[in-house]
Amino acid sequence: MTVKLGVSPTRSPDPQALQKFAQDDAARQMAIVEEASSSTSSGRLQDLNLLTSTVTKAKDYPAVHWEYRGQLGDKSVFIVRKLVFAGSGTVDVISSSLSLDVARRNSADFVALIEVEDYLPKAR
């Protein structure tokens, strides 16, 4: 499980723009996933393929959901990545497993536990 926090480009992303981002940015996201895999002690993922790219909701926030399959030696590894646009921030959750169902469940369980306290910065 990997979680990264970031700044959202907008508080309310347009659903059509998110759909375009999900599809157009899939190759870049695969490169990020491959790069992240190279830092693991268990080896580098090979033959990484995008299985699905969708726009969804997570905790009532817009989110982009990607699923990948790659090879680690003779085993298939599944990666589920969800980028949640939570108010003024983003939460990027990446889960991997030898089972797609387990990767999905771990991602969903983690996202379900997230509590977002969103506020506007004070004016100076």
How high is the pLDDT of residue 73?
Answer: 86
Segments of the chain with pLDDT less than 70: 33, 36-43, 119-124
For residue 16, is it within any domain?
yes
Rounded to two decimals, the pTM is 0.81
Residue 122's pLDDT is: 67
Do the beta carbons of residue 105 and residue 111 sit within 8 Å? no
Domain total in the chain: 1
Is residue 123 assigned to a domain?
no
So what's the pLDDT on residue 99? 97
pLDDT at 116: 79
Domain CATH for 100: 3.40.1000.10
Range of 7's domain? 2-113
pLDDT for the residue numbered 36 = 66
Cα distance between residue 21 and residue 12, in whole Å: 14
- Asked whether the beta carbons of 36 and 2 are under 8 A apart, the reply is yes
Residue 39 lies in a domain: yes
